[in-house]
Amino acid sequence: MTSKNVTLIGAPTDIGAGSRGASMGPEAFRVANIGPVLEGHGLSVLDRGNLAGPANPWQPPVDGYRHLPEVITWNRNVHEAVYAELRDGRLPILLGGDHCLGIGSISAVARHCREAGKKLRILWLDAHADFNTNGLTPSGNIHGMPVACLCGHGPKELVEIGGHVPAINPKWIRQIGIRSVDQGEKRFVHEVGLEVFDMRYIDEMGMRHTMELALATLDAHTHLHVSFDVDFLDADLAPGVGTTVSGGPTYREAQLCMEMIADTGRLASLDVMELNPALDIRNRTAEVAVDLIESLFGKSTLMRQQH
């Protein structure tokens, strides 16, 4: 079951991103009242404050990676912080920070699941597949590589972070909302057999059917992790991200997505990534994200009775 004890962990860095500003994300979530909003749903919220890590040196790529040493340090710090909360039976919410930190977070979740004998299902809500490698990436930005790293394709220090290679099996992931994938990356996604519900699929089949499939076969022993890249949302709804892509889920589709996840009662860890206050308009994107997170934890827009 979803734990009532939630921990907020801020990771104030844009070390893996292509633009500066996601380092201010954690504070923007707090300004948008993420803690009190979750407490309003009967959760006990502990804010651990922000993790520390190296500054962003803003350098060009080396061997296809930008800022690899700094990315490694940040991910190790995130891994330890997330793992400690899970070991304590708490539900960690990682406030990014850019999406490269998904490596540290999800490797910690996978490690916890191995030790606790749980199955893992990961919902990757994103405009991008984040399945680049240093040979495929056009930019060298590691926020485009976390899924590949978790599946064992990446630099040794990132791939080995949770002590088990690969950290996860690609079959455990469902990607939703995808609409911007680089050419080589697309071939690689097909090669490993990632299950992707792209926007074409959502447009044709609807969010309800998409989520029914993405959440199928969960059981009482499944740990459900959500990795929510705020650029999952349509650019008009969520301007405060570094890599906006138009044609994403509307507010209503995103609400349904979150509510259907909440209905499973299996949510056990969450990353909310890539919020960039420098690009936002009066913290609107942070407020939309907090509103959706509220739904993820059971706020319902429904009139019908819930049991």
Name the residues that contact Mn ion, by CB under 5 A: 99, 126, 130, 229
Of residues 43 and 289, the one with the C-beta less far from Mn ion: 289
41 tagged catalytic: no
**CB-wise, 110 or 181, nearer to Mn ion?**
181
Minimum Å gap between C-beta 173 and Mn ion is 13
The verdict on whether 126 is a catalytic residue reads: yes
Nearer to Mn ion, 3 or 107 (CB): 107
CA-based radius of gyration for the chain: 17
Candidate list 98, 234, 271, 274, residue with the active-site label: 274
Whether the Cβ atoms of residue 273 and residue 230 lie closer than 8 Å to each other: yes
Our answer to whether residue 203 is catalytic in this structure is no
Half-sphere exposure of 206 (CA within 13 A, CB side): 4
Catalytic residue, candidates 67, 79, 128, 223 = 128
**What does the alpha-carbon distance between residue 181 and residue 61 come to, in Å, rounded to a whole number?**
20
Selecting among 70, 85, 130, 259, the annotated active-site residue is 130
Query: Which of 70, 98, 126, 185 is flagged as catalytic?
Result: 126
Q: How far is the CB of 207 from Mn ion (least distance, A)?
A: 19
Active-site residue, from 14, 229, 280, 287: 229
Q: How far is the CB of 99 from Mn ion (least distance, A)?
A: 4
Whether residue 9 contacts residue 95, with contact meaning beta carbons closer than 8 Å, is answered with yes
Q: Dump the DSSP string for 61-93.
A: -BTTBSSHHHHHHHHHHHHHHHHHHHHTT-EEE
Toward Mn ion, which CB reaches closer, 17 or 108? Answer: 17
Closer to Mn ion at the Cβ: 229 or 294? 229
Of the pair 175, 210, the CB lying nearest Mn ion is at 175
Which of 70, 85, 98, 231 is catalytic? The answer is: 231
Q: Which of 278, 235, 17, 15 is nearest to 139 (CA)?
A: 17
- Supply the minimum distance, in Å, between the C-beta of residue 171 and Mn ion: 20
Contact 129, 181 (CB under 8 A): yes
Q: Does residue 198 carry a catalytic annotation?
A: no
Neighbour count for residue 301 (Cβ, 10 Å): 10
- CB of 243: closest distance to Mn ion in angstroms? 8
Partners of 227 in beta bridges: 124, 271
Dump strand ranges (E) for 138-265.
173-178, 195-198, 222-229
Judged by beta carbon, residue 67 or residue 99, the one nearer Mn ion is: 99
Cα 21 from chain centre: 17
Please name which of 254, 291, 216, 269 lies closest in space to residue 102, comparing C-alpha atoms. 269
Asked about 157 being catalytic, the answer comes back as no
Strand partners, 92: 7
Question: How would you classify the pairing of strands 195-198 and 173-178?
Answer: parallel
Cβ at position 128, least distance to Mn ion in Å: 5
Would residue 271 show up in a list of annotated catalytic residues for this protein? no
Q: How far is the CB of 116 from Mn ion (least distance, A)?
A: 27
- How far apart are the C-alpha atoms of 177 and 197, rounded to whole Å? 6
Q: Please enumerate in sequence order all residues whose Cβ is within 8 A of that of 246, keeping only pairs 6 or more positions apart, or say none.
A: 234, 235, 236
Query: Of the residues 67, 79, 143, 153, which is catalytic?
Result: 143
Residue 99 known to be catalytic: yes
Annotation marks residue 307 as catalytic? no
Active site residues: 99, 126, 128, 130, 143, 229, 231, 274
